[in-house]
Amino acid sequence: MLVFGISAIVDGLHNRKQADRVVFNIAQFMLSGLAGSLVFKFLAGALQEFWVGETVAMALGLFCYIIANFALVVRAVSIFRGETWWSQFKMYGYAILRNSLGTGFIGLIFTYFIRRYHFWGAVVFGALLIYLGEMLKTAVSVTGGNGLGAGN
């Protein structure tokens, strides 16, 4: 839980977010993390006899984290904008959910990479993510954000 809180604080400082948004993100990450962790803990024990039991438990815990996080973000946006939850879900739901699933998948790969390579796995994987982020920034700047290339 502490890691979720710290990550929200670091994200808030790095992206210069307002204090109320940082506080929301701390609570959002911690509640989502708690939900996902409880599902994982329950299922990991229940599925331990299957050779893929831990992986299934982790994937379902991650899915629970994503759904909880998604619901909290969409609700917060609906309150902020004074609109219904459903209208915000229809407008942004697919993009938020798709982004969360992609991030979750990276998190799952990261977890297994760390389990295999420990500290140096974290260092190498972190460097890979930074490098991929820079590659994406470069691609967007070269294409002008439209994916067509600089000359189009």
Query: Residue 133 falls within a domain, yes or no?
Result: no
Q: Residue 23 belongs to what domain range?
A: 2-118
pLDDT of the residue at 151:
47
pLDDT of the residue at 152:
47
Domains identified in the chain, total number = 1
CB atoms within 10 A of CB 44: 17
**CA-to-CA dists, residue 147 to 84, 92, 142, angstroms:** 34, 22, 9
**Could you give the percent of the chain with pLDDT greater than 70?**
94
Query: Residue 145 falls within a domain, yes or no?
Result: no
pLDDT of the residue at 82:
92
Query: Residue 60 falls within a domain, yes or no?
Result: yes
pLDDT tens string 23-63? 998 998 889 888 988 998 888 888 777 777 788 888 888 88
Query: Can you list the residues of the chain whose pLDDT is less than 70?
Result: 145-152
Query: Residue 141 falls within a domain, yes or no?
Result: no
